[in-house]
Amino acid sequence: MNGANDGRPGQPSSSGGDEEPLTDGTSDGEGEPHAPRPPPICVLEGNTLQTRLTRALGIHYPFVGAGMAFVSLPPLVIAVSEAGGLG
């Protein structure tokens, strides 16, 4: 090896321009940092996915069975609803 970056993480870059951003949001630690990220729209808690929709409707899984409305019968709607989805 001649010491050049072979693409592995942690190796010094020989390109000089494709540096990873620093923790303050800038590429070289100088200048204005990027705007802070907005809060996440969903959070994984245990085995469920919590979103604004699931919290507002009180459901555990953001599964909406309406896409199967033309073939779903009442037993399927009941099963989805009882499982924590939106029938």
Q: How does pLDDT run across 8-65, given as a tens digit for each residue?
A: 555 555 555 555 555 555 555 555 667 787 766 666 666 667 788 788 888 777 776 6
Higher pLDDT, 68 or 82: 82
Determine contact, residues 49/63, Cβ cutoff 8 Å.
no
Strand ranges in 4-78 using DSSP code E only, listed in sequence order:
42-45, 48-51
- Output 32 or 3, whichever has higher pLDDT: 32
Which residue did the predictor score with more confidence, 72 or 21?
Answer: 72
Which residue matches tokens 């009941």? 78
- pLDDT classification of 4: cutoffs 50, 70, 90: low
User: To the nearest 10°, the Cα dihedral for 40, 44, 48, 52?
Assistant: -10
- Distance CA(8)–CA(10), nearest Å, equals 6
